[in-house]
A and B are shown apart, each in its own frame.
Chain A
Amino acid sequence: MTETVADTAAGLPAYPAPRAAGCPFDPPPVLRTLQTEKPVSRVRIWDGTQPWLITRHEDVRALLNDPRVSADSTREGYPHRSAAMQGSDPAAQTFLTMDDPEHARLRRMVTAPFAIKKVEALRPSVQQIVDDLIDTMLAGPKPVDLVEQFALPVPSLVICELLGVPYEKHDFFQRHTKVIVRRTSTPEEVAAANKALTDYLDELLADKLAHPAGDMLSALATERVATGEMTRHEAARMGTLLLGAGHETTANMIALGTLALLRNPGQLALLRETDDPKAVAGAVEELLRYLNITHSGRRRVALADIEIGGETIRAGEGIIFANDIANRDPDAFPDPDRLDLTRPARRHVAFGYGVHQCLGQPLARVELQVVYSTLYRRIPTLRLATDFDEVRFKHDGIVYGVYELPVTW
């Protein structure tokens, strides 16, 4: 870095930036300005450092798949999300923040259950879970909090079944996951939450080793830990990653997606009226693009000097990929700020891009397809039970969404 902090810090935009009042579905306006005027630009983050922010769809895709860019959060220059994330114990790392070949070795140990055909085979049980939860809501008092009674239980039940984690423990792991994904948590709080989850998974793995069942943790225990391919601690960290990544994200898509559709009744009607699985699948891609709930950017560090967009990113400098504004890039998606469930949206980067692209995406897709094609048909009069202005959004979350969504019918 040649510039000093005093030279640049004053004029640099702060990241993450606030969204515009009254536009909770749109990325912060300053990101659009950067995308138009300075698509590769330095920003200022919480610790005063000035990593690069990449805002164009094309640049995001090019660099996220570039081996000169590292996801290793223990490297000098990595732009951490918060003091808590920076302070986290290297032993708590998962393959999410490792590079190949280590990343590939570990990721490949868990790809099998996420193959399209295996996930497709889970569709009937996902449908059953969704139908049962709707039955319970319809039979109970209203209004209900859709987050608590539906959006969280769907992915939690699904991932618990897949991993072989008892769902009765959901209060425990949801409580700890909430701490981890809140940007304002202290380092001590995050470390304690990570430890509680990892210890729990570790115990569970010991139990699976003794009494294997047909689930993913049993497979990890018997095929990887027992064979010495991975340690029980590594397996426990992996289980924690899957459990966390597997429910927070999808839950936020369900609740925020429902709110976005209630605000766009024409689009909601399209979903309610279609019988075509392709149309539903397309709608899911568009909602992923439009909402881009992973709004705090993909974090990386340069391993070599990289020329891009007329700028030179030096080796050792942090890079943040703003996939939210990349998904609103007019060069990739015409009229990008319009929610249009019929547009081809597959090229979105809501699941990231490159070798770290979401492992759970086939499962997330099936869950969201089942939810969006069932909920509004079974409860056609679904509506908000509070003023839109009263809804609390997760502005401070690593993953965006709503804290609660009171609905009635």
Chain B
Amino acid sequence: MRVEADQPKCVASGQCVLAAPDVFDQDDDGIVVVLDDHPEESTHDDVREAAAICPAAAIRLADK
């Protein structure tokens, strides 16, 4: 799985950080930062949940 975040779209809701804290963080302004763009299998459900609840549809997932 490859994880990308579209920072200009991010509205700093923090939802992704709560759903998948090992994969997402926020910078000093609260804007999303991807910590691990090829996260481990064990996090995939959480990452999918993060992408699903992101209010701004700022998280994109690809297969590889």
Contacts and interface: CB of A to CB of B under 8 A. Distances in A.
A175 interface: no
B19 interface: yes
Contacts of A359: 11-13
A111 B55 contact: no
A279 B29 CA distance: 29
A353 B12 contact: no
A392 interface: no
Given A116-B14, A116-B17, A355-B11, A111 B30 contact: yes
B13 A357 contact: yes
A101 to B, nearest CB: 10
Interface in A329-361: 346-347, 351-359, 361
A286 B64 CA distance: 34
B53 A347 contact: yes
A interface bracket (residues with beta carbon within 8 Å of B): 20 to 34
B52 to A, nearest CB: 7
A111 B52 CA distance: 21
A115 B12 contact: yes
Contacts of A361: 13-15
B14 A65 contact: no
Interface residues of B, number: 20
B45 to A, nearest CB: 11
A112 B55 contact: no
A389 B12 CA distance: 41
Contact of A117 (B11, B13, B19, B26): B26
A351 B18 CA distance: 15
A345 B47 CA distance: 16
Interface string A109-122: 00110111111000
Nearest to B52: A347
A188 B7 CA distance: 42
A13 interface: no
B53 A346 contact: yes
A115 B53 contact: no
A357 B11 contact: yes
Interface string B13-54: 111011100000110111100000000000000000100110
A108 B55 contact: no
A146 to B, nearest CB: 28
B55 A354 contact: yes
Contacts of A352: 55
Contacts of B12: 107-108, 111, 114-115, 359
B1 interface: no
B56 interface: yes
Contacts of B14: 114-116, 119, 361-362
Contacts of A118: 30
A350 to B, nearest CB: 12
Contacts of A107: 11-12
Nearest to B49: A346
6 contacts: A108-B12, A115-B28, A115-B30, A346-B49, A356-B11, A359-B12
Interface of A: 65, 104, 107-108, 111-112, 114-119, 281, 346-347, 351-359, 361-362, 365
Given A116-B18, A346-B49, A357-B11, 7 more contacts: A65-B56, A104-B11, A111-B30, A112-B30, A281-B18, A351-B13, A356-B11
Top 8 A-B pairs, shortest CB-CB distance: A357-B55, A111-B12, A111-B30, A115-B30, A116-B14, A115-B26, A116-B17, A362-B14
